[in-house]
């Protein structure tokens, strides 16, 4: 099956995850794609194919004869798409030869080069775009398509020597639960790569340290005409708390190694309100300082408004994989060489986010991240370069050969 055909098939599955769900996977519809992938893996001739009740689909590309003693390498991608925007009834459009100009997604929505200047770097590429009403799902169905197409190539070309290769597709990565029940020992790889990056050439082994903060505010609602010294407006307390956090440490004002506080939800009335933040920083010391600052802000407001007005629940989500990957420099060197061989310039830089590999690296499976060719993830302006996808697929094939030498 062609890479394009495979990708367009996968994005037709609605696999949006749900952070509010208490099930695993968080949405049953993710299992539909996982089942499809398990069937497809068997049809390709992969062995040890299994799909467990939690939605982990795994399979093996057996080593070519004489290469059974080589390190077992894994490739991992996730089936779910972001809760930030609908992934239902995705209607992708392929632009075969992009002219470098603005792209009209529908009558109301235009993706402008002025807003997304990196578009100009894709002039001449075949692009897959949305219809402006949903996300595309390249995060991470592009990665899935690249892994599966590379697997089909390796299985169909026994003359290409490689060691044993393990493949896994996980649910719920977008809500930080993707490897909650991932059995590293059962997966059986020495090293792995997530195929979950963006721009062509991205090679990432540094990511954010991450925490989530949920804040409940209990106000006191009194008729506004008689509220003096009595009312505690929960919404005003929420605004006060947000104003205490450094404005320059918001996502819209940060890049590179900068960390941030990101306000992701604010709901409520005068009587009660809830506020959600995510906290991110590559530097572990600065990460801990950010959490401490938020705790101190909450304590200060409780002293001002009354003990128990604000309740903070703070939970670490994942940590920077760098310290787990750096002891194995061959992981990065081989990936960089594989990209170069595929005609790609490696771009080694930090992830301003996280992947399943972040946590897997701390679970004993060092796991840097490779590009997919997708851009503008999580929204209606998401797009993917099929040219970059082909080079990502070739990078996987090259890596497989390299580890099998």
Sort strands 209-218 and 310-318 into parallel, antiparallel or unpaired: antiparallel
Contact predicate 383/192, CB 8 Å:
no
* Closest to 127 in 3D by CA, of 163, 99, 166: 99
How far from 267 is each of 217, 263, 329, CA to CA, in Å? 10, 11, 46
CB atoms within 10 A of CB 41: 26
Q: What is the 3-state secondary structure (H, E, C) of 312-324?
A: EEEEEEECCCHHH
Contact predicate 193/370, CB 8 Å:
yes
Distance of CA 309 to the CA centre of its chain: 35
d(CA 180, CA 358) in angstroms, rounded, equals 12
d(CA 290, CA 296) in angstroms, rounded, equals 10
DSSP H or E run through 5: helix 3-10
Catalytically annotated residue among 40, 173, 206, 382: 173
* Terminal alpha carbon distance of the chain: 28
How far from 174 is each of 9, 139, 281, CA to CA, in Å? 20, 9, 18
d(CA 157, CA 346) in angstroms, rounded, equals 27
Catalytically annotated residue among 14, 40, 80, 172: 80
* 326 assigned to active site: no
How far from 350 is each of 109, 225, 363, CA to CA, in Å? 31, 53, 20
* 80 assigned to active site: yes
Q: So which residues are the catalytic ones?
A: 80, 173
């Amino acid at each position: 099956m062609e890479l394009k055909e495979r990708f367009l098939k996968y994005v037709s599955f609605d696999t949006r995850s749900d952070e509010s769900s208490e099930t695993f996977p968080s949405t049953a519809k993710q299992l539909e794609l996982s089942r499809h992938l398990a069937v497809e893996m068997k049809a390709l001739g992969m062995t040890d194919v299994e799909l467990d009740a939690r939605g982990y689909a795994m399979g093996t590309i057996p080593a070519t004869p004489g290469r059974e003693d080589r390190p077992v390498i894994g490739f991992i991608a996730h089936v779910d798409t972001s809760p930030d925007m609908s992934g239902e009834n995705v209607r992708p459009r392929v632009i075969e030869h992009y002219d470098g100009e603005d792209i009209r997604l529908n009558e109301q929505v235009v993706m402008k080069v002025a807003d997304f200047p990196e578009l100009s770097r894709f002039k001449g590429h075949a692009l897959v775009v949305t219809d402006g009403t949903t996300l595309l799902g390249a995060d991470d169905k592009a990665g899935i398509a690249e892994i599966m197409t590379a697997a089909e190539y390796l299985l169909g070309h026994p003359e290409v020597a490689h060691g044993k290769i393990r493949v896994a597709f996980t649910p719920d990565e977008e809500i930080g639960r993707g490897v909650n029940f991932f059995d590293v020992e059962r997966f059986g790889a020495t090293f792995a790569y997530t195929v979950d990056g963006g721009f062509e050439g991205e090679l990432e082994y540094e990511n954010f340290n991450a925490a989530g903060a949920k804040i409940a505010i209990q106000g006191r609602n009194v008729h506004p005409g008689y509220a003096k010294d009595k009312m505690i407006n929960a919404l005003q307390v929420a605004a006060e708390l947000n104003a205490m956090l450094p404005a320059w440490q918001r996502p819209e004002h940060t890049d590179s190694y900068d960390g941030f506080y990101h306000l992701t939800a604010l709901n409520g009335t005068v009587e009660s309100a809830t506020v959600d933040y995510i906290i991110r920083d590559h530097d572990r010391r600065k990460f801990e300082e950010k959490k401490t600052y938020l705790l101190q802000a909450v304590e200060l407001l409780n002293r001002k408004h009354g003990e128990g007005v604000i309740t903070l629940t703070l939970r670490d989500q994942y940590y920077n994989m760098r310290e787990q990957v750096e002891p194995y420099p061959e992981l990065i060197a081989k990936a960089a060489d594989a990209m170069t061989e595929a005609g790609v310039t490696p771009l080694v830089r930090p992830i301003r986010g996280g992947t399943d590999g972040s946590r897997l690296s701390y679970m004993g499976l060092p796991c840097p991240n490779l590009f997919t060719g997708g851009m503008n993830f999580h929204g209606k302006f998401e797009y993917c370069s099929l040219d970059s996808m082909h080079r990502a697929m070739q990078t996987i094939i090259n890596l497989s050969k390299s580890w099998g030498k």
